[in-house]
């Protein structure tokens, strides 16, 4: 045996930190935009990420009345609270604490997302996942996953991984099927002093969303909530709780599409003509 040194698989370092921007959307819902137009290339295939976190009913009570989507997927993950959705195909339901709704808008849907509460904490995320050109016009569909059916892996020393989409290094598979982007969506909670290292397909773009506490990423960068760290290339992700309270981090990863992005409001296509066609189809009631 030659005592060759086995190279350690590379840790993904923080390539860029994205600070959230306070904004409002829908009917005056106050939220923090964590990903958007500025990160379309660096976060490919993820288009947008919003975080809502408020106990003030006036910040969320207006909700998101009827609006269209075409060309991508919306993922709603509730940390706390209840949101009711309904659409023009007659589908409706409530997403409660810990639940996930993964909606493939495809060729088009008109829906509303309204709070199912008039007081108390409303906290969660909405992520937009792009679709490749060949899937942009698929029929709309939903994957609705109640919290109780989402697997949670215990890693010991106070770390848990809730596996919403994708498969962990230990083989736990999330209930969401995400198609071409192979999207991974893990909610990782770290007790004080806890840490995790997770192997991840090097072909995926990856980002971390720190939503509670402070974490140290790749043994270097310390990031407080609420911020996004876009990760560079590598084979492993290393996260350690660097604070004196529990930490919460979303690990989101997906295969980049490397296609042109034409983004016009609620329509995300490959060309400007396709966006204009989407607007015409919507106005003509063809969704
Ligand atoms: Fe929507």
- Answer whether 254's CB lies under 8 Å from 129's CB: yes
pLDDT tens digits for 44-63?
999 999 999 999 999 999 99
Give pTM, 2 decimals. Answer: 0.95
Task: Name which of 130, 30, 21 is nearest 74 in CA terms.
Answer: 130
The rounded Å distance from CA 113 to ligand 1 centre is 7
Where do we find the tokens 């995400």? Answer: 178
The rounded Å distance from CA 12 to ligand 1 centre is 32
Which residues lie below 8 Å from residue 222, measured CB to CB, with a gap of 6+? 214, 215, 216, 242
Low-confidence ranges of the chain (pLDDT < 70): 1-9
Q: What percentage of the chain's residues is helix, strand, coil (to nearest 5)?
A: 10, 50, 40
How high does pLDDT run on average in the chain? 95
The rounded Å distance from CA 103 to ligand 1 centre is 9
d(CA 76, CA 279): 24
The rounded Å distance from CA 223 to ligand 1 centre is 29
Joined together, the tokens standing for residue 274 give 């396709």
What superfamily does domain 14-283 belong to in CATH?
Answer: Jelly Rolls (2.60.120.10)
d(CA 39, CA 47): 7
The rounded Å distance from CA 156 to ligand 1 centre is 37
The rounded Å distance from CA 64 to ligand 1 centre is 7
Q: Residue 140 — left, alpha, or beta (φ > 0 → left; ψ -120 to 50 → alpha)?
A: beta
d(CA 155, CA 255): 26
pLDDT tens digits for 232-261?
999 999 999 999 999 999 999 999 999 999
Which pLDDT belongs to residue 6?
A: 62
Joined together, the tokens standing for residue 264 give 């016009």
The rounded Å distance from CA 238 to ligand 1 centre is 33
Taking the domains of the chain in order of start, what are their residue ranges? 14-283
The rounded Å distance from CA 213 to ligand 1 centre is 29
Which pLDDT belongs to residue 8?
A: 66
- Answer whether 248's CB lies under 8 Å from 189's CB: yes
- Answer whether 20's CB lies under 8 Å from 33's CB: yes
């Amino acid at each position: 045996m030659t005592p060759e040194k086995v190279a350690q698989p590379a840790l993904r370092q923080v390539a860029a930190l994205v600070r959230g921007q306070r904004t409002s959307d829908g009917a005056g819902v106050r939220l923090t935009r964590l990903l958007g137009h500025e990160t379309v290339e660096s976060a490919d295939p993820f288009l947008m990420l919003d975080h809502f976190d408020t106990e003030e009913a006036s910040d969320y009570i207006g909700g998101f009345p009827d609006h269209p989507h075409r060309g991508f997927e919306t993922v709603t993950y509730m940390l706390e609270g209840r949101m009711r959705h309904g659409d023009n195909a007659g589908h409706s339901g409530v997403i409660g604490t810990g639940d996930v709704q993964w909606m493939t808008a495809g060729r088009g849907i008109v829906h509303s997302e309204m709070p199912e509460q008039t007081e108390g904490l409303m906290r969660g995320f909405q992520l937009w996942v792009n679709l490749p050109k060949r899937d942009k016009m698929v029929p709309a569909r939903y994957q609705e996953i109640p919290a109780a059916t989402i697997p949670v892996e215990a890693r010991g020393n106070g770390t848990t991984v809730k596996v919403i989409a994708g498969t962990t290094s230990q083989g736990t598979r999330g209930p969401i099927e995400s198609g071409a982007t192979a999207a991974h969506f893990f909610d990782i909670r770290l007790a004080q002093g806890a840490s995790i290292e997770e192997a991840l397909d090097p072909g995926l773009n990856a980002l971390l969303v720190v939503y509670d506490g402070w974490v140290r990423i790749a043994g270097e960068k310390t990031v407080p909530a609420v911020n996004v760290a876009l990760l560079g290339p590598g084979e492993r992700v290393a996260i350690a709780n660097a604070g004196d309270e529990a930490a919460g981090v979303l690990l989101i990863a997906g295969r980049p599409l490397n296609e042109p992005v034409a983004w016009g409001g609620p329509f995300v296509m490959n060309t400007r003509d396709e966006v204009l066609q989407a607007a015409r189809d919507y106005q003509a009631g063809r969704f």
